[in-house]
Amino acid sequence: MRAAEIQDDLAQILVTEEEIIAKLDELATRVAADYEGKEIILVGVLKGAVMVMADFARALPFHAPMDWMAVSSYGASTKSSGVVQIRKDLDTDLNGKHVLIVEDIIDSGLTLSWLLENFESRGAESIEVLALLRKPEAAKVVIDCKYVGFDIPTDFVVGYGLDYDERYRNLRDVAVLAPHVYS
């Protein structure tokens, strides 16, 4: 697929790469101040959070070990069911750790709400969430997300790690997917 055809699949660029990098720098400054003198572990949720983790972690001025978890919501519908299955678990024992979960997007919030409970049961000292994107109108559960990049409408978006059928993850910007792609 050529670049021009990929552009054709996008209805609108929502957040540009420049805006993302600037926002992650800003969030990293806040995180650095909030965790002064503490050791944190960054937990990325695969695969969508890969790009966020890469740029956010490099904006931090101190050591920030990373670990990764892969989960999938399953159930009859294509929407998140809140019933979560662990596909890849962490390598790290979270007991006593200050955990910062790094997420691409909070939609219904069901996956994250499950993850927060799961991490609490592992004895983490503190758990906070950083999400590049959030869809406030799609929320089914209230998630206390301390670090949010951008609040966006409910349209399905791709790029910067976010996929549709495993495609578009490598786009630099976040864009609304054109309806002709999935209809």
User: For residue 137, what is the DSSP state?
Assistant: G
Please pick, from the candidates 15, 45, 174, 177, the single residue that binds Mg ion as defined by CB under 5 A.
45
**Using CB under 5 A as the criterion, what x/- string covers residues 55-74 for binding Mg ion?**
--------------------
Angle between helices 17-34 and 50-59 (to 10 degrees): 60
**Using CB under 6 A as the criterion, what x/- string covers residues 45-84 for binding ligand 5GP?**
---x------------------------x------x----
List the structure tokens of 128: 């906070």
Distance of CA 72 to the CA centre of its chain: 14
What is the rounded distance in angstroms from the CA atom of residue 72 to the CA atom of residue 48?
Answer: 12
Q: Considering the complex, what minimum distance in angstroms separates the CB of residue 173 from ligand 5GP? A: 13
Q: What are the residue numbers of the active site?
A: 107
107 touches ligand 5GP by CB under 6 A? yes
Of 25-33, 50-58, 86-94, 156-164, which segment contacts ligand 5GP by CB under 6 A?
Answer: 156-164
CA distances from 20 to 15, 108, 143, 173 (A): 7, 22, 22, 8
Contact 94, 115 (CB under 8 A): no
159 touches Mg ion by CB under 5 A? no
44 touches Mg ion by CB under 5 A? no
108 touches ligand 5GP by CB under 6 A? yes
Question: Which residues fall within 8 angstroms of residue 174, CB to CB, at 6 or more apart?
Answer: 13, 14, 15, 20, 132, 133, 152, 157, 158, 159, 160, 162
48 touches Mg ion by CB under 5 A? yes
Please pick, from the candidates 41, 102, 158, 171, the single residue that binds ligand 5GP as defined by CB under 6 A.
158
Distance of CA 91 to the CA centre of its chain: 19
Q: Which residues bind ligand 5GP (CB under 6 A)?
A: 48, 73, 80, 104-112, 156-158, 162-164
* Residue ranges binding Mg ion (CB under 5 A): 45, 48, 103-104, 163
